[in-house]
């Protein structure tokens, strides 16, 4: 089976006002269809930058990132992002309009079809009674559910999630992880998920890429089945036990 996403020796850099920062160094991995692929690493390992490169927002200075065999050049609706920030919904549109707009603006569906599909996914994330609410009237967890519904409604080839639950409280977070897995059971979509939480990686992921920090380099690529927190910590932080990076 060929990979949907093939990252080969990708080095990613970004500029701040004073410095040129290497976020990740010669990272290689491949994501297959229906994978729940998690990129796990401490702050500063360039995991978000890798996700942005797959999204088409930044480009590798070395190596290649190929999607369906072709290099990624620009953002597009075949790779849909779910961000960590709550402000990713358009505040001037209701929950329903947010999803409809995503579908029509990307030219995927006509208005009528988009509306039907929007309601279907709003129901899936159990927000039917809030369909006509504006985002500012929703809680953080509800906003993230809308963002997930919006991304899933677009039926992208790969769903890119950048710590989507990081800003949520622990109880909501656990529930959202559960819901995401249920949605995956229904649709078996391909997921590329970034997190710095080891328990979250183990819960959400089927395969986990472990990165070191400053700059990010691949330490291991493991299956989450049969892996526990201790093994991940061991792989990430070596003999030291990992207290320093937690």
* List of residues contacting other proteins (CB under 8 A): 55, 57, 74-77, 79-81, 83, 85, 87-88, 90-92, 101-102, 105-107, 134-137
- Residues 191, 204: Cα–Cα separation, whole Å: 10
From the CB of 54, what's the least distance to other proteins, in Å? 12
Q: Are residues 121 and 152 in contact, defined by beta-carbon separation less than 8 angstroms?
A: yes
Closer to other proteins by CB, 98 or 195: give it: 98
Closer to other proteins by CB, 91 or 226: give it: 91
> What residues pair up with 219 in beta bridges, in sequence order?
none
Q: Would you state the structure tokens that stand for residue 56, as one six-digit string?
A: 């088409």
From the CB of 14, what's the least distance to other proteins, in Å? 13
From the CB of 189, what's the least distance to other proteins, in Å? 16
- Residues 159, 215: Cα–Cα separation, whole Å: 25
From the CB of 48, what's the least distance to other proteins, in Å? 11
Closer to other proteins by CB, 92 or 123: give it: 92
- 200 contacts: CB under 8 Å, gap ≥ 6: 165, 173, 177
Q: Are residues 91 and 134 in contact, defined by beta-carbon separation less than 8 angstroms?
A: yes
Round the CA-based radius of gyration of the chain to a whole number and report it: 18
From the CB of 123, what's the least distance to other proteins, in Å? 23
Closer to other proteins by CB, 107 or 243: give it: 107
Closer to other proteins by CB, 98 or 212: give it: 98
Query: Could you give the C-alpha distances from 93 to 105, 126, 132, in angstroms and in order?
Result: 13, 19, 9
DSSP label of 149: H
């Amino acid at each position: 089976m060929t990979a949907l996403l093939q990252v080969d020796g990708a080095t990613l850099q970004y500029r701040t006002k004073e410095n040129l920062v290497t976020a990740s160094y010669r990272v290689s991995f491949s994501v297959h269809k229906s994978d729940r692929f998690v990129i796990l690493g401490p702050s500063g390992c360039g995991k978000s930058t890798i996700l942005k490169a797959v999204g088409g927002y930044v480009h590798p200075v070395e190596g290649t990132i190929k999607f369906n065999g072709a290099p990624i050049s620009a953002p597009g609706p075949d790779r849909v992002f779910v961000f960590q920030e709550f402000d990713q919904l358009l505040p001037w549109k209701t929950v329903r309009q947010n999803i409809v707009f995503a579908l029509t603006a990307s030219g995927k569906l006509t208005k009528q079809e988009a509306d039907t599909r929007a309601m279907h996914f709003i129901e899936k994330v159990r927000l039917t009674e809030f369909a006509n609410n504006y985002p500012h009237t929703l809680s953080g967890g509800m906003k993230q559910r809308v963002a997930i519904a919006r991304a899933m409604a677009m039926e992208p080839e790969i769903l890119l999630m950048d710590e989507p639950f990081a800003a949520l409280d622990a109880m909501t977070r656990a529930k959202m992880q559960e819901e995401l897995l249920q949605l995956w059971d229904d649709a078996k979509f391909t997921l590329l998920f970034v997190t710095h939480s080891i328990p979250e990686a183990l819960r959400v992921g089927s395969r986990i890429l472990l990165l070191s920090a400053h700059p990010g380099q691949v330490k291991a690529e493991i299956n989450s089945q049969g892996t526990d927190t201790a093994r991940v910590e061991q792989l990430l932080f070596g003999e030291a036990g990992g207290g320093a990076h937690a």
